[in-house]
Amino acid sequence: MEYQEKIAKFADIINSAENICVFTGAGISVPSGIPDFRSADGLYNQDSGFNIRPEEIISHTFFVRKTDMFYEFYKSKMVYPDATPNAAHIFFAELQNRGKNVSVVTQNIDGLHSAAGSKEVYEIHGSVLRNTCTNCGKHFGVETVMEQEGVPHCDCGGIIKPDVVLYEEPLDNVCVEGAINAIARADTMVIIGTSLVVYPAASYVRYFRGRNLVIINLEPTGMDDMASLAIYEDVEKVVNDLKSLI
C-alpha cells in the first residue's frame, strides 16, 4: 500500500473511532528535540562521560551509591526543560475537542502530552517534572532540580529524587492499572515511536481487543503483523498529512 493510501486509511480509522488509546515511546518526542534511546544518536549510544553504560547510571543502585554522578548525567542527558509539544502531541490532544475519547499511555518522562492538552495521560515511567524529597516527601518542580548545582536538596536537607522509574524500580501499580484499562476499553489503538522492546510496558499492548491497531514508527516492530496499518514515517509528517482528512 502506498503512503497516501495509508494516510487515507488512517483518516478513515480515526474518523470512525470513538475511544482511542495512543501508546507512545521516545520517537514521538524526537521532533521536539529530545533524543530517543536506541537509535544511532540515542541516549544509550551516547558517551556518558564516565566510561559507564547509561543503563547502569539510570539505575536505582547507581542513584543511591553515586548520586552526584547520577545527577550530572541526568541533568545533561535526560531533562529538556525548554522542549515543547510538537504537532503529533498537539494533534492527539486536539482530537478530544472533536468528540473523541482519547487516552494516552506513554513510556516518556518529558510531560509533553499533558503540556499539549491531553487530559487522560498515564506516564508509566514517571516524569522529570515531578520530584520528591527522599526524607520528608515534599514535592518539587523540575526548576528546583535544574537550578541547584550538583545534587539537589530539600530545605530539610534530604536528597531530592526525580519521580522517574529507574532500572531496578517497580512501576506504579495505580498508573499501570489505569493504562491497562485505557488500552482494554479502546476501539482504536495508535502506537507511535516505540520499538516495543521495553518490558513490561510493551506487553500491555496485548490487552487491546478493539477494531484497529495502527503503528507509526520509523522502522518495523515485532507487532506489525497484528496491525491494521503500519506506517514507517516521521510522526509529524504523518499527522500533518492526516489533518486535512480529519
Q: Is residue 131 part of a domain?
A: no
The verdict on residue 152 lying in a domain is no
pLDDT-based confidence at 200, cuts 50/70/90?
confident
Q: Please indicate, yes or no, if residue 197 is contained in any of the structural domains.
A: yes
pLDDT confidence band for 15 (50 / 70 / 90): very high
- For residue 127, the model assigns a pLDDT of 98
For the chain, the domain total comes to 1
The reply to whether 107 falls in a domain is yes
Residue 161 φ/ψ, nearest 5 degrees: -115, 135
Q: From the CA atom positions of the chain, what is the Rg in Å?
A: 19
Residues of the domain holding 191? 1-32+84-125+170-246
Residue 193, amino acid: G
- Confidence tier at 195 by pLDDT (50, 70, 90): confident
CATH for 109: 3.40.50.1220
Residue given cell 482504536 in the structure block: 188
Q: Which of 5, 87, 89, 11 is nearest to 245 (CA)?
A: 11
Q: Give the span between the Cα atoms of 142 and 79, in whole angstroms.
A: 8
Residue 142 included in any domain? no
pLDDT at 198 (0 to 100): 75
Q: Is residue 112 part of a domain?
A: yes
Residue 120 has pLDDT above 80, yes or no: yes
Is the per-residue pLDDT at 152 higher than 70?
Answer: yes
User: Domain for residue 54, yes or no?
Assistant: no
Question: Is residue 223 assigned to a domain?
Answer: yes
Average pLDDT, the chain: 93
Active-site positions read 125
